[in-house]
Each structure stands twice: as C-alpha cells, then as structure tokens.
C-alpha cells in the first residue's frame, strides 16, 4: 500500500501535519534565509569599469616607493603605491582617483607580483567609493586577472574580477590598463 489517505478525514490530518511541518521554526528560518538570498541576488547590480593606473618610480611625479627588499626590484621587494587613476592612457587624461596599496615581487624570477590595492574614486558617479583588489600579477603574461575582494560606498560587498594589461612601459614608468567586472 502506498500510504495514500483513505478518507476525507485522513486527507485533512495529512494536510494539517504538512502545514505544521512547513511552519516549524527550523523551516521558517530556512524559508527566511532563502527569501533574503533571493532578494539580495535580485538587488545586486553589475558594473563594468575601464581605467588606467600610472606607476611612476621617479620624481617629479613619483607614485611608487620601495620600502623593503634587496635594493633592486627583485624577489622580496616591497613597494607602496599611490598611483593616479585616469580615464585614458595619457597622463593628462581626466583623473578619476588613486590606486593606493602595495605590490610585492613574489616570485624568484621577479616576474610575478602580489598586487593589493584600493581604487579610491575621487570624481564622477563613484566619488567617495572604493574597490579593493588582490591577486597575483604575472607581468610576463599579456593579460592578467586579479580578484575584486570588496569595496565601500556604492561598491559595498563588491565581488568580481579585473583584467590587467600593460599599456606601456618606459624606463621606471608603467601604465596599466584595467578592466573591472563587479557585482555589488
């Protein structure tokens, strides 16, 4: 026998038990969590950004300072950055903010950096907001990818990724082209 209700009374009992089970505190909690997750996913906004970061190791516009390491830009070198972020690759392009953080030469061959920085937006639609980036930047690759690990302001609870390309490298100056895809 399949255990189906044999009468209308059995059917009502089965219905009452089902309603009680669905209304039990653990299941109400599960339903509430599921609804909140759905609302958060529905409210998430996707944003794409494109900007350039200007790394300059020499005066007068120095934005990179070596603070520890072997004295050359080899394995173990730790630098602090406060790089201009601009709309275009040219240094005179309109500024959108600053890239503030560190990069560390993290591979023995000197090609891979541990890059950790915040894009601090100072103009435009995202003025006062930040995005935080973290990841391995293998400079021998044409296109690299790092994680967006958070943000503030309009980017609170941000998650996503950024691709990095070296737009130009001349002496002690490097310009990085950064494309960001973020949900927030």
Q: Is the CB of residue 105 less than 8 Å from the CB of residue 141?
A: no
The pLDDT-based confidence of 10 (bands split at 50, 70, 90) is low
In the chain the beta strands, taken as DSSP E runs, fall at 46-56, 64-68, 78-86, 95-105, 112-121, 130-138, 143-152, 159-170, 173-183
DSSP 44-87: --EEEEEEEEEEE-STTS--EEEEESSSSSSTT-EEEEEEEEES
pLDDT tens track for 65-119: 999 998 777 999 999 999 999 999 998 999 999 999 999 999 999 999 999 999 9
Mean pLDDT of the chain: 87
Distance CA(183)–CA(45), nearest Å, equals 5
Distance CA(70)–CA(72), nearest Å, equals 6
Q: Which residue has the higher pLDDT, 25 or 91?
A: 91
pLDDT tens track for 135-151: 999 999 999 999 999 99
| pLDDT score recorded for residue 72 | 78
Q: Is the CB of residue 168 less than 8 Å from the CB of residue 174?
A: yes
Count of all residues that appear for the chain in the document? 184
| pLDDT score recorded for residue 3 | 56
Identify which of 138, 176, 146, 137 has the alpha carbon closest to the alpha carbon of residue 56: 176
Global pTM?
0.78
Identify which of 171, 9, 167 has the alpha carbon closest to the alpha carbon of residue 89: 167
């Amino acid at each position: 026998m399949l255990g189906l209700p044999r009468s209308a009374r059995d059917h009502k009992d089965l219905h009452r038990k089902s309603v009680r089970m669905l209304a039990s505190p653990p299941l109400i909690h599960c339903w509430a969590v599921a609804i909140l997750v759905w609302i958060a996913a529905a409210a998430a906004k996707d944003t794409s950004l494109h900007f350039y970061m200007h790394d300059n190791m020499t005066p007068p516009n120095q934005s990179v300072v070596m603070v520890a390491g072997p004295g050359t830009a080899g394995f173990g070198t730790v630098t602090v950055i406060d790089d201009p972020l601009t709309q275009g690759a040219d240094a005179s392009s309109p500024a959108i903010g600053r890239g503030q953080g560190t990069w560390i030469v993290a591979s023995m061959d000197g090609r891979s950096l541990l890059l950790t920085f915040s894009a601090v937006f100072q103009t435009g639609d995202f003025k006062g907001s930040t995005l935080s980036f973290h990841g391995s930047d293998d400079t021998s690759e044409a296109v690299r990818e790092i994680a967006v690990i958070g943000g503030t302001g309009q980017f609170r609870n941000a998650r996503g990724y950024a691709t990095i390309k070296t737009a130009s490298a001349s002496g002690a100056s490097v310009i990085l082209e950064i494309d960001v895809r973020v949900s927030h």
